[in-house]
A and B are shown apart, each in its own frame.
Chain A
Amino acid sequence: MSVQAPERPTQTSFPSETEYAGQLGRRQRKAVAFKFFCLAMLTIAVLALATLLYTIINDSFGLVAIVNQNDPDQVVADLGYDPETTTLQDVSYDELVGLLQANVSSGVGRRLERDQRFYEDRLVFEDEATWAEICSSGEPPTGCTAAPRDHSNVYALVLERVVVPDVIASYPLVPSLLNPEVFEEEVAAGFEAGRFPDYQPEQAFIEWRAWFNPTFLTTPQSSTPEVAGIRTAILGSAWLVLITILFAVPVGVGAAIYLVEYAKPTRLNDFIQTNINNLAGVPSIIYGMLGLAIFVRVLEPFTSGAMFTTGVPPSDNGRTIVAAGLTLGLLTLPVVIISAQEALKSVPDSLRHAGLALGATRWQTVRSQIIPVALPGILTGTILAVARAVGETAPLILVGAASFITTDPSGPFSKFTALPIQIFQWTSFPQQEFHNLAAAASVALLLLLLTLNAVAVILRNRYSRRAE
């Protein structure tokens, strides 16, 4: 329905009513077109995200073709059981330990025992005298004090060390679900083409495998993809987050408070402000170069931990967690400052005036009235900035993250690896299994980021409710 006002003959310089009405249709068409344009852009964004998730999930689960070096049925039969009724998992603890003893070299066995003992009251690989000696040494291994292994632990060891499954081919999730028989054909074709010269076709069997699984999260890095995990990488990333927060939060929030609450608009302060904004846009690789030059090289006595000890330093160079953490802290700092500034600026001036008019000092007002109101914003901004830093790869490569490391980081001055480094390394390998591992590690990294973001949202909601 169209509404039309009568013409007013006096207003000659105005467009006529019909002109207005004619324009209205065009304006509305433009509005609709713009709305659909925005919707289309949103669709593209959602599709891009969905593709990303699809790629990662697709590689993290799926069918695999496995060849066991030792057939578990054969192993069970060798122990004198009927493989029809008994599986390897049903075998007793003592027999499993016996299997390890028979199949593992004494060096590996001693290492396993030092990590964790098999029995409370007796030793399997080590002799009593040496054991007593290493346990009374300055740094006794974990096996001296930790509780002995249990059945499932030893069963996993037997699988890894005795059965030794070898993944000869893997298949992504979606084709595994849609047409698994293609994979079987591919494996059979692979055998015919002589791609698996070490094995017979009848040895291979196909099963489902979740590359992302609890064991994957809790086992250290390994060069065999079947047993490799990301525990070292997760711990390394956790250490990095800790040091990044310890550095960037006090420095960043302190600087932001000064700039918002105290700094007068002088030319110097404007200059500083502009530079902070620019620093937030500096590529992360540049921060990596800075970290390498400053933290790894110049501050080596500090970052290698040498200045805290008179004896052997914890690390023989500065390529340690603390150097990388400080680099990521620097990278995060401008974003933390800017988001904290925004949070502080959003606190109305009326609160500052109220505090000061009561005879409170600037700091009393800031501490008791301004920071509590700005806190949710500061926390959210900080956590998002740290979450961003967790995924950074380039600066860590420059600062010297170790790509292959199987021992957990022991403190801020130890060598380390991190999740993005692990993913980067695995994707650069040619074998498909490592790509599956990289995808699974990406799932872990994404979950870590989601957790951090969820923490940000929870904190924000909690504190903003309290402030009301």
Chain B
Amino acid sequence: MTNETSTENKIESAIGERMTTEPDRPGQAVPATAEVPGVIETKDMSVFYGDFLAVANVSLNFGANQISALIGPSGCGKSTVLRSLNRMNDLVATARTEGEVHYHGQNIYAEGVDPVEVRRTIGMVFQKPNPFPKSIFDNIAWGAKVNGFKGSKTDMAGLVQEALEAAALWDEVKDKLQESGYSLSGGQQQRLCIARAIATKPDVILMDEPCSALDPIATLRIEELMMELKENYSIVIVTHNMQQAARVSDKTAFFNVKLNDTGMRTGRLVEYSPTEQLFTSPKEKDTEDYITGRFG
């Protein structure tokens, strides 16, 4: 017990140190990524479910046209953090977010910010593929329509094609656009969901364990797709699969869960570094233990 508390203290001091020092030393971590301008920045963000503090004091800066991965053991709050980035957590009746989340410098939790607008520009792909029970075409077209797309039928057809091409699905479905989205395989459904997100012209795409329900081949295709998408979009991905984080991401944030004095299991950010560095020379002992498989 004492051992654990001391570890926790160490982590907390480490986080504190990073928080105060990092902005002052740009470029020191790894020059290649430090120059990237931020898209979303969380400032001292904590998320509560009722009285339960799910994740505390997260300060993260997600770079533009980068893939940022959030990893950590179950219950560490990485999905909660992801869902706070486009205010999807608002849908949980008891959820409450403290601190700030800045999107291009604007706090999306500020008064007067419409979460509907936030969610269009910061799209989301879920763990389990969840196409609408409609045709492939309508799955894509609906997002554009509800956001006020007023174009002609040909415009819409063009938009659908572009979105499907961007999601590397067009060649597989171009002859059956009127078939149900459910007629596709799991991997295709997930790419359909990505195409659907793309169709609303987002800036950032959040992915919540997008491959956990897929087989390795479908996973590989999604990973290849993410590498392509990064040209045009910033991506934040939550994953249980450390190899996946290592393969696709530019920066990785490691979260851990600690039992505090009152028995609450609160998630905390342990380390946020360029992926290569985090997996080869982690700064924190917890990170090292996790990535070498000693727990989690």
Residue A360 interfacial (CB < 8 Å): yes
Name B143's contact: one of A351, A359, A373 (CB within 8 Å).
A359
| A/B pair count, beta carbons within 8 Å | 72
Residue B13 interfacial (CB < 8 Å): no
B126 touches A358 (CB 8 A): no
Interface 9-residue window, one of A37-45, A361-369, A435-443: A361-369
A349-362: CB near B (< 8 Å → 1, else 0) gives 01111111111110
A351 touches B200 (CB 8 A): no
B128 touches A359 (CB 8 A): no
A362-419 contacts to B, CB under 8 A, are 364, 368-369, 372-373
* Residues of chain A with a CB closer than 8 A to B117's CB: 359
* Residues of chain B with a CB closer than 8 A to A351's CB: 130, 132-133
A70-93: CB near B (< 8 Å → 1, else 0) gives 000000000000000000000000
Residue B123 interfacial (CB < 8 Å): yes
B146 touches A364 (CB 8 A): yes
A356 touches B196 (CB 8 A): no
A350 touches B128 (CB 8 A): yes
How many chain-A residues does the 8 Å CB contact rule pick out? Answer: 22
B134-151 contacts to A, CB under 8 A, are 142-143, 146-147
B91 touches A358 (CB 8 A): no
* Residues of chain B with a CB closer than 8 A to A373's CB: 133
B126 touches A350 (CB 8 A): yes
B132 touches A360 (CB 8 A): no
* Residues of chain B with a CB closer than 8 A to A360's CB: 116, 142-143, 146-147
A358 touches B200 (CB 8 A): yes
B190-207 contacts to A, CB under 8 A, are 193, 196-197, 200
| Interchain CA distance A264-B90 in the complex, whole Å | 12
Residue A468 interfacial (CB < 8 Å): yes
Name B116's contact: one of A265, A352, A353, A361 (CB within 8 Å).
A361
Residue A467 interfacial (CB < 8 Å): yes
| Interchain CA distance A353-B196 in the complex, whole Å | 13
B86 touches A357 (CB 8 A): yes
* Residues of chain A with a CB closer than 8 A to B159's CB: none
* Residues of chain B with a CB closer than 8 A to A368's CB: 142, 146
B119 touches A354 (CB 8 A): no
A421-468 contacts to B, CB under 8 A, are 467-468
* Residues of chain A with a CB closer than 8 A to B120's CB: 358-359
A359 touches B182 (CB 8 A): no
Name A467's contact: one of B119, B133, B200 (CB within 8 Å).
B133
Residue B33 interfacial (CB < 8 Å): no
B182 touches A357 (CB 8 A): no
B197 touches A358 (CB 8 A): yes
B204 CB, min distance to chain A CBs, angstroms? 12
A468 touches B88 (CB 8 A): no
A356 touches B119 (CB 8 A): yes
| Interchain CA distance A373-B132 in the complex, whole Å | 10
B83 CB, min distance to chain A CBs, angstroms? 9
| Interchain CA distance A372-B134 in the complex, whole Å | 10
CB-based nearest A residue for B93: A264
A353 touches B143 (CB 8 A): no
CB-based nearest B residue for A265: B93
Residue B180 interfacial (CB < 8 Å): yes
CB-based nearest B residue for A467: B133
Name B126's contact: one of A354, A364, A369 (CB within 8 Å).
A354
* Residues of chain A with a CB closer than 8 A to B197's CB: 357-358
A234-265: CB near B (< 8 Å → 1, else 0) gives 00000000000000000000000000000011
B116 touches A354 (CB 8 A): no
| Interchain CA distance A358-B117 in the complex, whole Å | 9
Name B146's contact: one of A352, A361, A467, A468 (CB within 8 Å).
A361
* Residues of chain B with a CB closer than 8 A to A357's CB: 86, 88, 119, 123-124, 126, 197
* Residues of chain A with a CB closer than 8 A to B128's CB: 350
A365 CB, min distance to chain B CBs, angstroms? 8
A324-365: CB near B (< 8 Å → 1, else 0) gives 000000000000000000000000101111111111110010
Q: A353-B130, A354-B193, A369-B132 are in contact. Are A359 and B146 (CB under 8 A)?
A: yes
A99-127: CB near B (< 8 Å → 1, else 0) gives 00000000000000000000000000000
B129 CB, min distance to chain A CBs, angstroms? 9
A359 touches B91 (CB 8 A): no
Q: A353-B91, A468-B180, A468-B182 are in contact. Are A358 and B130 (CB under 8 A)?
A: no
CB-based nearest A residue for B180: A468
Q: A264-B93, A353-B91, A468-B182 are in contact. Are A358 and B86 (CB under 8 A)?
A: no
* Residues of chain B with a CB closer than 8 A to A369's CB: 132, 142
B247 CB, min distance to chain A CBs, angstroms? 25
* Residues of chain A with a CB closer than 8 A to B93's CB: 264-265
A353 touches B88 (CB 8 A): yes
Closest 3 CB pairs of A and B: A359-B120, A350-B130, A358-B143
Interface residues of B (CB under 8 A from A): 86, 88, 91, 93, 116-117, 119-121, 123-124, 126, 128, 130-133, 142-143, 146-147, 180, 182, 193, 196-197, 200
Interface residues of A (CB under 8 A from B): 264-265, 348, 350-361, 364, 368-369, 372-373, 467-468
14 chain-A/chain-B pairs, Cβ below 8 angstroms: A348-B130, A350-B126, A350-B130, A355-B132, A356-B119, A357-B88, A358-B146, A358-B196, A358-B200, A359-B147, A360-B142, A369-B132, A369-B142, A372-B133
